Amino acid sequence: MAARFLAHDREGFRRITGSEPELELLLEDHSYPFAHEAGVFIDLTDELIITSNRFCDPGSNQQRVQISKVVIGGMTRGRPTIRQEINSSRIPVGNGGVNYGEDRVLVCAQGSFNEPSGLYVMGAHAPHAATPFLVNFHGRPFNSVNDVVVHGDGSIWFTDPPYGFEQGYRPRPTLPCQVYRYDPQRKSIRAMADGFGHPNGICFSPQQDIVYVTDTDRYHGSGTLDDSKASTIYAFDVTIRHQQPFLTNRRLFAFADHGFPDGIKCDMEGNVYSGCGDGVHVWSPGGVLLGRIVVEGGVANFCFGRQGEMFLLNETRLWRAQLGSHVRGALLKI
C-alpha cells in the first residue's frame, strides 16, 4: 500500500482502499486558499463546487482597508482540471454545501456584519443564481452557519458555530451553538442538539438512523488552539417520538489525534470519514480507526465522486483519491 495510505487496521482499511489506492494532485494554486469547504460533486456534469477559505481581497488594498472574502469555485475535470469563479457575490462568506436535487446546491453563508448568516439555494449550473433560503431562527440571527446535509425525508440539518464573531466579521452571538433541522414542507425549524463548543461537520449514516457531528472546539476562531478542548466526533441516534425525530443516545464516536475533525461523510458500508490535520481519517461504524489518507497540511473537507473516488480540499491544492471501486458515498450512492 502506498505510503500516503496509512493503515491502522490493515485488513479493515484494505477492504476500503483496495490493493492499489491512488492519490493524484488535480490542481494547485498558491495565490489564495481556493480549496477549503463544501465539496459538492455534480454527477450530471462531472463538476465540483467548492468554497475557498477567507483571504484578503487584493482590491481592498487600494482603500488601505483589508477586506476578507470567500470565493465559490466550479471545477471542471479534464486534463488539466479547470477552475472558474462562479457567481457567489450574493452568498456572504460561503462555507459548507450539499446537493439539493439535481440542479441546485444548498450553501452555508457564514454572514457578515451587514448580511445575515444562513442557508442559500444556488443553481448547480451557470449562471449559478443564488437566493436566501433560511436566515434566522424565529427572528434571532444565526451565528455562522457552517455545514449542512439533507435527509431522505426532505428535511435540512445544519450546524451553527460562533466562528464569525471570533474572527471579527459577525456580531456577538444571540443563540447557543446548536444543530438545527428545517422542514421545508411545514416551514418549521427546530433546535435538535446543543452542548457543543464549535459544532462543525454533519452527516447521516447510510440508513439515516444516526447523525454524526464534529466538534472543532480545539480551534478558536482567533487562531489559538486548546488541546484540552474537544476535537471530537459525536454520534446521535435518530429516534421518532410523536411522529417527529429527536436525537438521543449522544456518545463520543471518535477523537482526532491530529488537528480536529472538520468535514464528515459516510460510505454505504457505514464507515465514517473526516478531514483532519494530517489528511482524511477513516473509522469503522464501531468507531475503530481503520486508517488515514495522509495529505500534508491536512484536509478541511472533501466529497465522494463516482466508484470510490474522493476529492480532498487541501487549501491551495485539490487532490483526487481513488479507493476501491466498490466504495460508494452515502450521500449520492454512486
Structure confidence by residue, pLDDT tens digits, 146-188: 999 999 999 999 999 999 999 999 999 999 999 999 999 999 9
Do residues 160 and 135 lie in contact, with contact meaning Cβ atoms separated by under 8 Å? Answer: no
- Say what the pLDDT of residue 88 is: 66
pLDDT in tens, 92-129: 999 999 999 999 999 999 999 999 999 999 999 988 99
Residue 193: is its pLDDT beyond 80? Answer: yes
DSSP 165: H
Query: What is the reported pTM?
Result: 0.96
Domains of the chain with bracketed CATH: 5-322 (2.120.10.30)
Q: How far apart are CA 309 and CA 46, in angstroms?
A: 12
Neighbouring C-beta atoms of residue 193, cutoff 10 Å: 22
Bridge partners of 292, per DSSP, are 6, 281
Q: How far apart are CA 262 and CA 200, in angstroms?
A: 6
What is the average per-residue pLDDT within 268-275? 98
| Sheet architecture: strand order including 210-215 | 199-204, 210-215, 232-241, 244-255
Residue 266: is its pLDDT beyond 90? Answer: yes
For the chain, the first-to-last Cα distance in angstroms comes to 25
Give burial (CB, 10 Å; 0-12/13-18/19+) of 94. Answer: buried
Whether the link from the prior residue into 80 is cis, omega within 30° of 0, is yes
